Every structure is written in structure tokens, then in C-alpha cells.
Structure 1
Amino acid sequence: MLVLLALSLVALFSAGSQTAARAQATTVTSNASFPFTESTATCGNVFVTISGKLHVLAHVTTDAQGGRHATLQINTEEVKGTDAAGNQYVSSATNNDSLNEAGTADSQSEHTITTKFLLVGKGNLPDLLVKTTMHITINANGEVTAEVTNVVAECR
């Protein structure tokens, strides 16, 4: 799921950089959903297989100076999960982020995105809050040169 998000960001910012030579502001909008299936450990180290869709709505504006400004809405859709014992979990999450970078030529850009994802256990099952912070560095050619992901999980 995080790989899809990283690729989406690279594609959006690369598209924005192709319009940087223009003297006027331009905007690119992307609206895409990606199916995903992941396994995650819940409270008590019980593994749950979850599946659903990751929806990304992004607007990237390249200003007249070549700077790029993005607003992102990232949400999950139809997320359900089951562990080996048949216990069920559901989730719904919406995250909003904005990214800005100056319009300097031949420079790399760095972006940090933080998302929160609540996996709700049905009945008496504990809930799991997962906070993911992803930092991406993209060079002047639009290639990802570094990616660091930190995931913190908390039982509730």
C-alpha cells in the first residue's frame, strides 16, 4: 500500500516538473483507487489479512516560477480483515496532506506524509491505531533516491 502511495507521489511531481518551463500556473489532478491486500499484526501479535481500496485524490499546481504545490486526500474504502480464528475487523480512514517545493531548477525535493489508520475489532476485540510516516527524496530527474517509512502501532 505504501509503495503505491510513493509511486503516486513521484508520478504527480514528475508531471508537475514537465510544465515548470511554462510562464503560467498549471494544475494537474489525479483521482485513482488502488486495490490492496496486506497482513498486519494486531494486539497480541495476531495476524490479520486486510483488503480494500486506497483512494488518492491529488491536485498539483506548478506556479509561474516552477514551484509545485500539492494537496492530497488519501482515504481507504471497503477495508475488511479477518484473522485465523475468524475474528473480523473493519477500517475507514481519511488523511489530508499538503506538499510545497520551491521552483529551483535541477534540485531534489523531499516530502513527508503522515497517515493514520484505525483497524476496528468487532465485538470485544481491541482496536489498533497505526500511524505511518513516510519520507521520500526525489532527485531532479524525478527518481526516488531515498525512502524511509516508520510505522507505529498502538492497541486501544
Structure 2
Amino acid sequence: MEIRILPDAFDPGAELARFSTDRSGTGAIVTFTGLVRDDGGALHALEIEHYPGMTEAAVTAMVAEAEGRWTLTDALVVHRHGTLRPGEPIMMVATAARHRAAAFAAAEFLMDYLKSRAPFWKKETTRDGTSWVAARDEDEAALDRWT
């Protein structure tokens, strides 16, 4: 398991290449990379805040839960904080398992929990000003399938 919360840009391709190395007991790797989305062309920047220590502990607990539910051979979570521009990677989840069903399910679980439960706060800066991003009902509803 590896969790990295970082202020700097990362290369999802390089992360996948590193994560995929020496996986003789693994039959499947599933990855997801989230990007800063600009709906409507008004977004100037997305600022992500977090509390160091608290965020890592919460994400570590999420990954440990995924490892307990599915037989994973490894998991990776990379998440940015700071100021990001449209199109930049925000986060990446990679799961490795002997079989694809476990890798897919664990990756979806982690993505849903990162979106709704990880202690990150997002503020958008647009041409009209700044505002905090509120939780979306559909993101909260996505958690129901994991309870």
C-alpha cells in the first residue's frame, strides 16, 4: 500500500509503470485518474486544502478497508493539494489483484470514498469569483452500495 498526498504535479503514466513492475502474482491492475474538469470554460483554478497527517490517516484507513474486503496484492493512492489548473491530474487510484473483479471493485470503492469522505476541501476560482465546492447528492448516494 502506498499513499501520497502531494503539492506537485504527477505523471499518471509513470505512476502506472512503477506500480506495474514485478507483479508476477498479479492478474489485474485497475487505474483511475481524476482530472480538473472545467464545465463551461469559466474555471481558472481549483484549490484543494487538507490537514497533513489527518488526511493521510483517513486515506490509509480507506485503503486498509479495501484490502480487507477484496484480496489485493497492492494499492496506490496519489492525491494533489494546492492550486490546480483545468486538465491537470488531481488524483490516481491503482489496485492490483489476482483477478480483475477484485481490482475493479476495490478501485471503485476507493474512488467513491475519496470523492465523499477523504478530508479534502475544494475551492473554485472562476471569472465570477471564488466559491467552496459543495458535496453532491449523487456522490453521497454512490457510497450506499458499499454499506
TM-score by length of 2: 0.30
Higher strand fraction: Structure 1 or Structure 2? 1
Higher helix fraction: Structure 1 or Structure 2? 2
Larger radius of gyration: 1
TM-score by length of 1: 0.29
* Greater RCO, CA 8 A, separation 6+: 2
